Amino acid sequence: MVTIHFTFSEKPAFAVLVKKRAGKAVERNRIKRWIREIYRQGKHRLGRPLEIIIMSNKTYGSLEFEALEKDIYSLFRKIAAVK
């Protein structure tokens, strides 16, 4: 499960939080790297600058990068519709 908190802002800011229940440090760091990469590739979909925090508390297995990407991009579409 991925949660996004955001505020429209003049200066973009980005943070990633992964709860301990998502797994051991190695797994949490992998999820953080994945989220950063997904954000880097998809931030143009958001339209205007945001202060954004992406939180994950679910374990995503090694073959589930696509599932995480799908979750985040669906949330990006909802944020873009808020304009």
Residue 56's domain comprises 2-82
| Cα 49 to Cα 17, 30, 31, 37, distances in angstroms | 20, 26, 24, 18
Give the distance, in angstroms, between the CA of residue 41 and the centroid of all CA atoms in the same chain: 11
Domain of 38, CATH number, reads 3.30.230.10
Q: How many domains does the chain have?
A: 1
Residue type, 7: T
pLDDT, tens only, 10-68: 998 999 999 888 888 998 899 899 999 999 999 888 888 899 999 987 766 655 888 88
